[in-house]
Amino acid sequence: MKLFAALLTLLLASCAARGHRFFFQPSPLEVLVQESDGPLLARTLLSVPGAVRDDEDWPEMHVRILFENKVGTSLFLDATSVLLVGSNLQSFGAPRSPAGDRIELPAGESTTVELFFPFPDGMSMKAPELDGVNLQWTVEHAGRSLETSATLQRVPPPVWPHDDYGRGRVFIGFGYHDC
**Mean pLDDT, contiguous 10-residue spans, the chain (179 residues):** 48 46 82 88 92 80 94 93 92 93 94 93 72 93 91 79 51 43
At residue 108, the pLDDT reads 93
Cβ proximity of 77 and 97 under 8 Å: no
At residue 125, the pLDDT reads 67
Cβ proximity of 137 and 149 under 8 Å: yes
At residue 173, the pLDDT reads 46
Q: How far is CA 49 from CA 27, 75, 135, in A?
A: 9, 25, 14
At residue 7, the pLDDT reads 43
At residue 118, the pLDDT reads 92
What's the whole-model pTM score?
A: 0.75
Domain 18-154: which topology? Immunoglobulin-like (2.60.40)
Q: How far is CA 54 from CA 47, 61, 88, 118, 119, in A?
A: 19, 10, 23, 9, 11
At residue 1, the pLDDT reads 59
